[in-house]
Amino acid sequence: MGYESSVPRKILQYISGKQTVSIRDIAQIFELKPTTAKIYLSRLARTGSIKKVGRGLYQIGKGETVVMRPSPELARIASELREAFPMAKFAIWSLQMLSGYSHYMIGKDVVFIETTKMLSASMRDILASKGYRTVLKPGKRDFQEYTYYPDRPIFILERKEQYGLTVFEGNLIPTPERIWADVFYLVTRKNLTFDPFELGVIFSAMVDREGINFSRLLRYSERRGIFREILIFLYELMKSNSKVGKHITENILLGRRETLNTILFMIEGARRND
């Protein structure tokens, strides 16, 4: 018996007219235990009929998954590093990996290599010996002025964060939501020269192509120290009547209401004397 045929017909009929559905919805509407509702939705996810996009939240339809492919040049840099350090683990990505979802052509590119403190200096030396412009532990000035460099720089970051990384064609690269969140972090914390408006355009394009796992985005944002900012961004989008805002439902923010309510009470208190 197939997975789909083992799901009650009334549930199949219900979700056929929905864009998103949650475990809580199915449990409440059909008077099921949450664990039973989860089993049914998990079975449908295995068939590809629905796709998990958040904590207990599923999107109807297979859709297209965003794959941020590294460029041939980026793959070559990674290959050169693997040749020099065959046992090393490092992540590699660049701003140009966002270009397929940008409204305008992204300007000057910069490559990021994330590795351990033990390997960072050695990787810098190897890349520098091959003619690459390499910056170890870049500071705010580097993020501000890299666009003036005559060639594309490689910024080496000393990071051990493994969450949100995936293997693609032999290279360890960040998932779409991690790249987007990291650019936001670098713009707001390191003064990276990148248009915030375009960052919003890119987010909308990735959501349209079902390339954002909201649960992963929020979890990674929490590990990155930007959780509340991203939560407010999603909440404001949800309140708007925009196309992208309709993809963000209450279920995505489920479990994060306490933070949102705290912020709303703070705003109310600040306006008390208005």
pLDDT at site 255: 58
> What pTM value is reported for the model?
0.73
pLDDT at site 187: 94
pLDDT at site 65: 44
Residue 264 CB neighbour total at 10 angstroms: 12
Distance from C-alpha of 46 to C-alpha of 87, rounded to nearest angstrom: 34
Pick the CATH number of 4-60 from 3.40.50.300, 1.20.1630.10, 1.10.287.3510, 1.10.10.10: 1.10.10.10
- Where are the alpha helices (H) located in 146-226, listed in sequence order? 176-189, 196-208, 214-224
pLDDT mean values, one per 10 residues, the chain (274 residues): 66 77 87 91 79 70 59 93 94 91 80 97 96 96 92 95 85 91 96 91 82 83 92 84 75 64 75 71
Distance from C-alpha of 95 to C-alpha of 190, rounded to nearest angstrom: 15
33-42, long-range: CB within 8 Å, 24+ apart, which pairs? 40/7, 40/8, 40/11
The upper half-sphere exposure of residue 198, i.e. CA atoms within 13 Å in the direction of its Cβ, equals 17
Residues 6+ apart with CB under 8 A from 237: 244, 245, 248
Q: Residue ranges per domain, the chain?
A: 4-60, 72-190
Q: Residue 54: helix, strand or coil by DSSP?
A: strand
